[in-house]
Structure 1
Amino acid sequence: MQSQEDANRAAFIEEAQDLLAELETALLELEAQPDDRDLVARVFRAMHTIKGSGAMFGFDDIAHFTHDVETVFDRVRNGEVPVTRQLLDLTPASRDHIAQLLHCAVSGDAPDLTHAAAITGSLRALVPVAATVADATPHDAESGECPAEPEAPCPPCTRTWRVRFRPVPSILFSGANPLSLLDELRELGGAQVFPHFSEVPVLDELQPELCHLWWDVLLSSEADEAALRDVFLFVEDDADIDIRLVDDARIVDDAAYKRLGEILIERGDVSADDLHRVLDEQRPLGRLLTDAGVVPPERVDAALAEQQAVRTIRQSRDKESTARDDSGASIRVAASKLDFLVDLVGELVIVQAQLSQAAHLRSDPGLLGLVEELERLSDELRDTTLGIRMLPIGTTFSKFRRLVRDLSAELGKDVELVTLGGETELDKTVIERLGDPLVHCLRNSLDHGVESPDVRAAAGKPRTGTVTLSAAHAGGEVLITIADDGAGIDPVRVLEIARKRGVIAPDVELPAREAMELIFAPGFSTAEKVTNVSGRGVGMDVVKRSIEALRGRIELDSTVGKGTTLTIRLPLTLAIIDGLQVLVGGESYVIPLNHVEECAEHATPSAADGRQRIINLRGEIVPYIRLRELFASSGPAPAIEQVVVVDAQGSRFGLVVDCVVGEHQTVIKSLGRIYKDVPGISGATIKGDGSMALILDVPGLVQLAADQPQRGQRVPAASHGGGA
């Protein structure tokens, strides 16, 4: 029982985090569109779900606090409270406090009750006293106004619902409390609850941990069906729930309400044949049915109450408009299960490659046909499995709106964040590890890039700066761009600061583009003083390392006075890639195909020619790296080598290899601790014959060759027998 309770709490925590992210997104959109009723409904539903599930799984402090926020947005939804700046400031603070309560529930820390009380008090002050039900003045029912009874409904604005709630006996095991759900229904309006005891066993057979009761509820409320179903949102799989509209004040109909027999037949409590058989006795129907044992007395009482209530309500009518909320369903799968599935698919791809190689060696047409079919199926399974891991990058973009909103206020700047391409999909692992680098980039854009409103106005720019965060597919990569319309980067000033901070020697001169690249150097910062935002020289170097750890690269482009653009290139997935297999000194290596531009033949250079390190490729001068020398490979080189032209760090380089084998579907395996820091190597894969091939880190190779051109630094030839 304890393990089930822990699982329920863990499920709530995970769901609450998703709801808080959805809540923040909806609030930021509501700030831009305060009259959008759908956004108000999204905020209300998120709060209602957090409150309901929190109460169900024992997070009472979260449920109690969220109730006040939900109440305010219920008034907003009904048009009683406007969407004001004060409300838009309080609600994100409420969201943050709920997140803090969630953290405290996990860590065991004590929450800040003083802060909670201040938020709650401010929220309650937004609700007009006259709008509360408790302070409403009773009126005469015959005049078309509300009756004096506290639970009597208001005829012109109320509909009557019949709710049958029949939980499975084991519902208590899930942590749900049926009585709490009935209390939630009562909060929606005047409710009459009719319990049914027919399935309660005798005392000797009673199992106290099971629920043997079920209920009929007659509810008169302004709520729509979606609001009623929200009450049972978390027990839909553990109960039979039937909700029917039995009277609608929006529809004017002077006809008498259904007869008692019609109600019972509609409920399914009695068949038409039984009804007609009993009616032949010509006695009051309710008494006849009870005496005949067809239906228990309490069910007749519930039906009579429904009949009487609807007759009373229909004394006065008015029309009103309501909205019905449609909700979809999804299945939540643990990330560890997806990771395990991808690993299995990777192993299947390796086995498929081994079978393919064995089939070609045997030259068996029948076996080759089966292998081709297996290859097709494994490719489809690979694409489908990787597609499951793909998430729209907009899930990450949405949280940055809050960052820009709060940081621009802290810096005293007016900045608008524009997001584009949020539907672009990327592997979930890449998205998870991308958050911190993007935060660094956005903070730099706001602090160093976008000017203050007065400075922008003096320069003829709009007082409000713009930061654009966009994503798009480009071949096998995703391009993420952070662009601002700020002051840009002055390469002269960057060079001066780099000399001052000791990043480069005082006498070093660099071209403008290389000077701007110095912002990625460790310890570099253009800030004049240390603040909460910047000035400590930690940031862009961390960004570059993080992006390169994802097998990506970052590019910088800036114009003084116009703005700066950072472009991050990332692979779609970190699990399985397409690669180009090459041979160097008898060993196999894989070059990620997204870096490869073309291949060409190259005559082995003489000792004199070898110093030039350049080739003329159709009139273009392309520098190259001989992997034989870099990897210190033994054995004679072939007379005709091949050059694989790659794109690295925005430039074209050639990688000279012995032979190009061909494309290879590469399942990435991480290297062991001994080999994981070898420069120029990013991982390993297993070939069809069971041997290992190392995956080359193209930007790392180019940087390695550029850093040590004279000393001839070499990467030791890999021992392919282990280490992965």
Structure 2
Amino acid sequence: MIDKFKAKFVEESLDNVNDLEEALFALENDMQSKDLIERIFRAMHSLKGGGAMFGFNHLSDFTHHLENIFDKVRNGKIKVTPDLISLTFSAVDEIKYLLEKGDLTARDDLDEYNLMMGEIQNFLQGGGTGNQENSSVSGDDASAANSEEKTYLISFIPGEDLLQNGTNPLFLLDDLHALGKGHSIVYTHKIPSFDNIEPENNYCLWQIILSTAESVNEIKDVFIFVEDECDLSIEEVGKGGFEMNPAVEKLIENARNSNTLIKVSDLKVLLNKNETEGKKTEQEQENTETEQGRKKSQLKDHKISSIRVASSKIDELVNLVSELVTIQAQLSVYAEKKGDNDILELAENVQKLSRQLRDNAFEISLIPMQTELMRFQRLVRDLSKELGKEIEFVIEGGDIELDKNIIEHLTDPLLHILRNSVDHGIEKPDERVAVGKSPKGNIYFKAYHAGASVLIEVTDDGRGIDVDSIRAKAVSKGMIEENEELSHKEILNLIFQSGFSTRDTVSGVSGRGVGMDVVRKKISEIRGEVTVDSVVGQGTTVTLRLPLTLSIIDGLLVKIGENQYVVPISSIEKIFALDKRQLKDSFNRVVIIDNEQLPYVDMREIFKEEIKETETHQMVLVRHEDRRLGLVVDEVLGEHQAVVKPLGRYLTSHEVVSGASILGDGSISLVIDTNRILQLTSSGKFRGKTKTSTE
């Protein structure tokens, strides 16, 4: 059971770390923001408390010292500086490592941990840049602070499920007593009989009489992570410190014996020795009770808007839905064979429900890209500082959602693209000024929906890609002939060829083009596409087109020879019926339809199927960007909801197939990769060296 809670703590702590990093990025641009400082402090406070509770002792100790810095920051004793931001970013890296490893044992890990702790201690003791101002308090100031001491009655009534969320109320009481001098009273009247006790439930409630010079907000901060799980009231009952006297002792004793909460008015009378001071009128008492009742009502009506679910459970749900879609297809085939109207109606209803269930399951499996954007921001920040460049990283569309499996495969290619932009795209400040640009470069990350796809554009305003240099390098490597004519776009696409690089020396980071073949390969593995566009002196844009999900696609079922294949509907523009003479009279694999020349490939040749002479043929026109291509097939069978399965090892090398699907009759249908066919046809690989047309 404790391992389960530990795993939940780590998961929630990583969310806190992401929030902490996000707040740090914002604080770097607005170093005076009290809200951001408070947000950072709260994240650290949460990490410290949870770490101690679940045995992450190094984590708890580390965040405690880091929290002390930001406690001084929010109290105006330390200024936020670039040095402090950098130190905190380094500390965040250590926190991530501590969450992964738990308490450290390896000597190298401990040395790194102690080094970071030393840097934090130095900063606290005045070793940081732009450090303490007014950090010491004079004797007169101390007297003034003591003169502002007040006494409060705090009523803390937690819900029964408080312990189940990993909160220990005794720790909260310790934090309260650390603020000043106090006395706690525990009430036990809610504890049921032994037979009815649930060990995981909390049945106690507390009142605390606390004297402190701290503000009410400081007291509230102790309960900041349980404020929705308890009834809490903090009432001032007296000026100055709290001293126990016989009358107060008797009040506390009566409260304990009767299990009745102390009234604010009663305690005020005893502490101020003036019954009229602070005494509530009946109307005030009624208002207080009404407000407490309202809070309890809100607590009771609180609805859980979201839940945290293990990703493995979501994967299992999607797999089960995929299998249901396959079974539903088999049911439809069976119903058509039987010709029974009742069965046909049932099959149609099951089809509607399975489609709704499919859509709902996939919505659950989608996660916002924002979860990974922090890594990209951190990469740009750290790399720009390392290379001595000024770069602003602008994100648009971070709330766009994608299948989590796609995001997992997408992270490395995007990191590589951004690394290229920082290293080779953006110039150094003096170079930018020399060509009339702002010394600060810009990298724009934009994600948006485009039909059934998501487009991601990474744009920099750097030096761009020199196509003459690309062409010269390609000729020297024997990739193209010296006199071969290529368009601007075709030359740029050469950077995706294996082993191509415009740099003669190896960079410690990476050069534009280094590994871009790997980027295209990884994007292709998730049925995506990558393109590049660039203007010398103005910048470069790398565009990724991605499917929303990998598991199920809407496809067109076609027959080629004796086998059936699936063509993704998202890539289809039109379907034509061709007379056999049109193909026979075609020149260089181009047919004329509606006074327009359209290139085509015969899919029967690609899949080595027997070509049967028929009066008419079907041509499926597919499109990507400005390229169009006709796929000649024997017959178009209709729409098909394809559950895409990975290919076995015997088919992984097939160039134009991206997966397989099980049909309703139990047979296997291969999924055609139309984008790959377009690429291979453009390069002249298929017979006839067909060149695609442009509009």
Give the shorter-chain TM-score range: 0.7 to 0.9
3-state SS in 2 of match to 1:296: helix
Q: Distance in 2 between matches of 1:555 and 1:462?
A: 27
Instruction: Determine if the alignment matches structure 1 residue 154 to structure 2 residue 149.
Output: yes
3-state SS in 2 of match to 1:690: coil
247, 267, 270: which one aligns with 2:236: 247
Cα drift, residue 188 of structure 1: 4.3
Aligned to 1:602: 578
Q: 1:208 to 1:245 in 2, by over 3 A?
A: closer
Instruction: Determine if the alignment matches structure 1 residue 228 to structure 2 residue 204.
Output: no
Matches within 5 A, 1:223-622: 223-224=216-217, 227-230=221-224, 232=226, 241-247=230-236, 296=257, 306-307=267-268, 311=272, 330-501=306-477, 503-504=479-480, 510-535=486-511, 538-604=514-580, 609=585, 612-622=588-598
Cα drift, residue 146 of structure 1: 4.2
3-state SS in 2 of match to 1:114: helix
Instruction: Determine if the alignment matches structure 1 residue 182 to structure 2 residue 176.
Output: no
Q: Distance in 2 between matches of 1:75 and 1:335?
A: 39
Render the CA deviation track for 1:164-220: whole Å, top value 9, x for unaligned: 45877x95x9876554332123234443222457799999xx999999976433345
Do the aligned residues in 2 keep the contact of 1:613 with 1:625 (CA within 8 Å)?
yes
**Gap regions ≥5 residues in structure 1:** 140-144, 253-283, 317-325, 714-724
634, 655, 670: which one aligns with 2:610: 634
Cα drift, residue 428 of structure 1: 1.2
Cα drift, residue 503 of structure 1: 4.7
Render the CA deviation track for 1:612-643: whole Å, top value 9, x for unaligned: 21122333322111100110112514321111
7, 25, 39: which one aligns with 1:28: 25
TM-score (norm 1): 0.79
Q: Distance in 2 between matches of 1:28 and 1:432?
A: 23
Cα drift, residue 381 of structure 1: 1.4
Q: 1:338 to 1:482 in 2, by over 3 A?
A: same
Q: Distance in 1 between matches of 2:277 and 2:138?
A: 24
Cα drift, residue 476 of structure 1: 0.3
Cα drift, residue 72 of structure 1: 2.7
Q: Distance in 1 between matches of 2:576 and 2:50?
A: 63
Aligned to 2:282: none
Tell me whether 674-683 or 549-558 shows the greater mean CA deviation: 674-683
Q: Distance in 2 between matches of 1:302 and 1:133?
A: 37
Cα drift, residue 354 of structure 1: 2.4
Cα drift, residue 247 of structure 1: 3.1
3-state SS in 2 of match to 1:655: strand
Instruction: Determine if the alignment matches structure 1 residue 194 to structure 2 residue 185.
Output: yes
Q: Distance in 1 between matches of 2:534 and 2:12?
A: 42
Aligned to 1:115: 116
Q: Distance in 2 between matches of 1:657 and 1:106?
A: 63
Cα drift, residue 384 of structure 1: 1.3
Cα drift, residue 248 of structure 1: 8.6
Computed over aligned residues only, the root mean square deviation of the Cα atoms, in angstroms, reads 4.0
- The letter of the residue matching 2:117 is A
Tell me whether 697-706 or 120-129 shows the greater mean CA deviation: 120-129
3-state SS in 2 of match to 1:581: strand
3-state SS in 2 of match to 1:65: helix
59, 67, 70: which one aligns with 2:67: 70
Q: 1:307 to 1:374 in 2, by over 3 A?
A: farther
Do the aligned residues in 1 keep the contact of 2:499 with 2:514 (CA within 8 Å)?
yes
Tell me whether 335-344 or 158-167 shows the greater mean CA deviation: 158-167
- The letter of the residue matching 1:448 is H
Cα drift, residue 569 of structure 1: 0.3
5, 9, 12: which one aligns with 2:9: 12
Q: Distance in 2 between matches of 1:544 and 1:508?
A: 24
Aligned to 1:280: none
- The letter of the residue matching 1:662 is G
Do the aligned residues in 2 keep the contact of 1:642 with 1:658 (CA within 8 Å)?
yes
621, 624, 633: which one aligns with 1:645: 621
Cα drift, residue 470 of structure 1: 0.2
Q: Distance in 2 between matches of 1:359 and 1:36?
A: 66
Do the aligned residues in 1 keep the contact of 2:528 with 2:546 (CA within 8 Å)?
yes
Cα drift, residue 399 of structure 1: 2.5
3-state SS in 1 of match to 2:102: helix
**Gap regions ≥5 residues in structure 2:** 240-246, 279-298, 690-695
Aligned to 2:291: none
Do the aligned residues in 1 keep the contact of 2:157 with 2:231 (CA within 8 Å)?
yes
- The letter of the residue matching 2:221 is A
Q: 1:399 to 1:709 in 2, by over 3 A?
A: closer
Matches within 5 A, 1:39-118: 39-105=36-102, 109=106, 110-111=109-110, 112=112, 113-118=114-119
Q: 1:163 to 1:629 in 2, by over 3 A?
A: same
Do the aligned residues in 1 keep the contact of 2:465 with 2:535 (CA within 8 Å)?
yes
Cα drift, residue 496 of structure 1: 1.6
Do the aligned residues in 2 keep the contact of 1:159 with 1:222 (CA within 8 Å)?
no
Q: 1:707 to 1:513 in 2, by over 3 A?
A: closer
Q: Distance in 1 between matches of 2:75 and 2:191?
A: 41
3-state SS in 2 of match to 1:230: coil
Report the number of matched residues.
647
Q: Distance in 2 between matches of 1:469 and 1:501?
A: 33
Tell me whether 697-706 or 684-693 shows the greater mean CA deviation: 697-706
- The letter of the residue matching 1:244 is S
Do the aligned residues in 2 keep the contact of 1:194 with 1:302 (CA within 8 Å)?
no
Q: Distance in 1 between matches of 2:427 and 2:51?
A: 44
Tell me whether 642-651 or 425-434 shows the greater mean CA deviation: 642-651
Render the CA deviation track for 1:343-379: whole Å, top value 9, x for unaligned: 1111122222222333344444443333333222222
Do the aligned residues in 1 keep the contact of 2:237 with 2:264 (CA within 8 Å)?
no
